[in-house]
Amino acid sequence: MARFFNIFNDRGRTYFSIADRLASIDRRLYGSDVDLLGRGFCFSLFGFFGFSNEKRGIKFLLDFFQNMKIKKITQTLILLSLVAIFFDLVRLGLHRAGNPWYLIWNLFLAWIPYIISICFIKKDTTLNRFIPFFIFWLLFFPNAPYLATDVLHLVSSPPALLWYDSLLFFFFGWIGLFLGLLSLWQIQQYFKMHFRILFSELSIFAICFISSFGIYLGRFERWNSWDIFLNPIGLAKHSFNLSANFIHLDTPFLFVLVFTVFMYLAYRAIYVLIENQEAL
């Protein structure tokens, strides 16, 4: 493993040093480091993955995956995420207006519940250990399917790039939804091992419902997962007031209902595909 981290340190130090220099130039030229951070990060990404006549970046990733024994599905999701980030940076280069950085940030948040589910929640995990990880997982789980709602930003896309943005939002939304549903499958495996089947099924539907309400809070009320730590009282009051008038407010009720059904059916499709691979 030392060989891998030496490669990373040598190349990473070089490319991020250049990226810092680019950022300082951009601040002088444009008065902002946002766009140059994009170009600096893109330059670092290109150099690391071998687009500057350097092939060791790709070799490092492949060797790293192999030595860390990362499951193939996780390897695939990592590569898909990197490709999505690349296309998002290309979008930034095609049209300086707009701020596609939120897609990368939302994708990062979508990875949190997946990492929790595959690293800290196993079938043989004790209940005392499972409960705190499950609560933490549930707090961040809505961030994964939340990516599917970023398609609303298409209304601000320039007409010339509407086709590109449509594919970009679909790509990010698909990855986020897949990360969320796979982590939900991991949770159900634990439920099936320790509880009755009926409890397992009802819990999955309840998680979809609670997450849909959380997505509504994030998308339309602009609350974040970490607000439960930074502003728990404000979040609780707002959620209670919204819930008290839930049936009388057309938008929250309709959104939560439709998204709950959508997420649950999407999960059932993933569940059937995973549990019945021999039927494919």
Show me where the domains of the chain are located: 70-279
Instruction: Please give the Cα distance from 105 to 125 (Å, whole number).
Output: 30
Give 3-state DSSP helix, strand, coil % of the chain, rounded to 5. Answer: 85, 0, 15
Instruction: Please give the Cα distance from 238 to 244 (Å, whole number).
Output: 10
Does residue 43 contact residue 20 with C-beta atoms inside 8 Å? no
Mean pLDDT of 195-216: 94
Q: Model-level pTM greater than 0.85?
A: no
What is the reported pLDDT for 209? Answer: 96
3-class state of residue 247 by DSSP: coil
Average the pLDDT over each of 15-19, 153-157, 253-257 and give the range with the smallest value: 15-19
Does residue 127 contact residue 194 with C-beta atoms inside 8 Å? yes
pLDDT digits (tens, 9 = 90+) for 164-183: 999 999 999 999 999 999 99
Mean pLDDT of 56-73: 60
pLDDT digits (tens, 9 = 90+) for 81-104: 999 999 999 988 776 666 668 899
